[in-house]
Amino acid sequence: MFSIFKKKKVIPHVRLTGIIGSAGRFNKGIENLLEKKRIIALDVGAQGGFNSDDFFPRKYNRFFSEILVEPIKTETDKFTEKKNIINKGLWSEKINKKLYILDGRLGSSSMFEPDERYFDLHNIKDKDYTNFKITRSIDVECDTIFNQLSELNILNLDYLKIDTQGAELEILKGIGDYRPLLIKIEAHFFSMYKDAPSWHELVNYLYKLNYVLIDLKGIGSHSTRIPVEADMIFIPNFDTEIGIKLIRNYREKFISLMLIFGQIKLLQIILKKLKINIQELEQLEDHFFN
């Protein structure tokens, strides 16, 4: 059974019975950790539904209670689950913005216009440039993460994913007091959008919010030695008092998210630093390093 023992001046001891399974299947252990709680997730740019890019195995979707953000109504109409949908854009303030829609490649629609000068860095062939042409634009009502989650009476946000083709920084500026345990965000090293903020502005902003970058996975084809786009994973800074407090206060959800995202070795190191004892966890192998 899963149990947490709390005693005065004693470091919490967490038991994850059944967490070790063949091929790293953590379903039972995560179930024990969360009991009947769900990980509150905000998916910004949720075209295709929650976790539509299969960034982590879909078998873990059941542990999440997701809120989907998608400003294009024809796309939200495709969602099978109709609850907790925000049919607006998100920004750093309440404002109306123009969304440029690329019907030839709908997933690339953005608040920023495409910039052909950098298409070659994305390894886009001349014959495919037409797929990145703006076919129409719509006026979108935008609000902040803080305002929208407050209206939904969401007190704590556990997981934040933002994939908005250049608008990630502006959206983060509207996060208010919410401090997710894990943030997955798309960043552009060579943006294909005009006047989109540079990737280092995004990283610096998150560091100021007391987060650290722990993973980076390249997206798409590129003509450079580094990816032109990447999904970045951030967690609370575990070397600061604020970050440590956040991890401790929500340790079951934090551990669950790290397991779901395959961050086993780092999780073991963090828990050792924080003197949180997890039975069986030290026996797990992180296959990334094998």
CA distances from residue 209 to 18, 43, 166 in whole angstroms, order as listed:
35, 19, 19
Residue 4's pLDDT is 35
Give me 185's structure tokens: 């965000």
Could you tell me the domains of the chain?
1-36+254-290 (no CATH), 37-236 (3.40.50)
pLDDT surpasses 70 at 266: yes
Average pLDDT in the 156-160 region? 98
Q: What is the mean pLDDT of the chain?
A: 88
List, for residues 65-100, the tens digit of each pLDDT value: 999 999 988 888 888 776 789 999 999 999 999 999
pLDDT at 14: 56
pLDDT at site 79: 82
Mean pLDDT of 260-267: 95
Is pLDDT above 50 for 141? Answer: yes
Lowest mean pLDDT among 139-143, 149-153, 177-181, 188-192: 188-192
Residue 147: its pLDDT value, please?
Answer: 98
Cα–chain center distance at 161 = 3
The helix or strand, by DSSP H or E, that contains position 68, with its residue range, turns out to be strand 64-69
Q: According to the model, what pLDDT value does residue 288 have?
A: 77
Each residue of 7-38: pLDDT tens digit? 333 344 555 555 555 444 678 889 989 998 99
Looking at mean pLDDT, say which of 16-25, 103-112, 254-263, 271-280 comes out highest: 254-263
Per the model's pLDDT, the better-predicted residue between 80 and 262 turns out to be: 262
- The reported pTM is 0.90
Q: 3-state DSSP call for residue 172?
A: helix
- The arithmetic mean of pLDDT across residues 142-158, rounded, is 97
For residue 168, pLDDT beyond 90:
yes
Buried b (16+ CB within 10 A) or exposed e, 164-203: bbbbbbbbbebbeebbbbbbbbbbbbbbbbeebbebeebb
pLDDT for res 235:
98
For the segment 212-259, what is each residue's pLDDT rounded down to a tens digit?
999 999 988 889 898 889 999 999 999 999 999 999 999 999 999 999
Asked whether residue 188 carries a pLDDT value surpassing 60, the answer given is yes
Sign of the torsion formed by the C-alpha atoms of 141, 144, 149 and 153: negative
Name the band, by pLDDT with cuts 50, 70 and 90, for residue 6. Answer: very low
What pLDDT, on a 0 to 100 scale, did the predictor assign at position 25? 61
